[in-house]
Amino acid sequence: MVASDSFAEFLREQLAPLGRVTMRRMFGKTGVFCDGMMLGMVTDNMLYLRVDDHNRAAFKEAESSPPLSYEKKGCTIDLSFWRAPERLFDEPDELVTWARAGAGGGASGRGEERTDSASARRKQKPRLT
């Protein structure tokens, strides 16, 4: 289920120090983006932040909750998004810190490298006329 309007607005306000926060519907959930870089997903008004090898240790506290998942052909597929601890919603500065880690450190982080290399690959493809 997608984020409610009030929860989406709350997240935009809380995450504003990171940059331009936008949200869009994705796969029956809500993707959370900062300056065009995905940092999390919302389902049932619960925030899940992107986890990878670079921020897994920082997110250790969130590891005890089940990751965001979906069902496919009778199997549960776990995604690389862990639920943000509820206490973060009472600690705005720490929520921003966690979200920044989920985004790969902001504009100078890992996400920018992926975006740049993806753009370069698109530009190198020959055009069919």
Q: Is residue 27 part of a domain?
A: yes
Share of the chain above pLDDT 70, in %: 81
Q: Is residue 129 part of a domain?
A: no
34 or 2: which carries more pLDDT confidence?
Answer: 34
Q: Is residue 110 part of a domain?
A: yes
Q: Is residue 60 part of a domain?
A: yes
The string of pLDDT tens digits covering residues 43-53 is 999 999 988 88
CATH number at residue 26: 3.30.1460.30
Mean pLDDT of the chain: 79
Q: Is residue 49 part of a domain?
A: yes
Q: How confident is the model at residue 31 (pLDDT cuts 50, 70, 90)?
A: very high
CA nearest neighbour of 82 among 96, 102, 97: 102
pLDDT of residue 66: 77
Total domains in the chain come to 1
Q: Which long-range contacts (CB under 8 A, 24 or more apart) does 33-39 make?
A: 34/99, 34/103, 34/106, 35/106, 35/107, 36/115, 37/103, 37/104, 37/107, 37/111, 37/112, 37/115, 38/103, 38/111, 39/99, 39/100, 39/102, 39/103, 39/104
Q: Is residue 32 part of a domain?
A: yes
- 122 pLDDT above the threshold of 70: no
The string of pLDDT tens digits covering residues 56-88 is 877 877 777 777 888 889 988 878 898 999 999
Q: Is residue 88 part of a domain?
A: yes
Site of tokens 């996400």: 111
What domain range includes position 107? 5-124
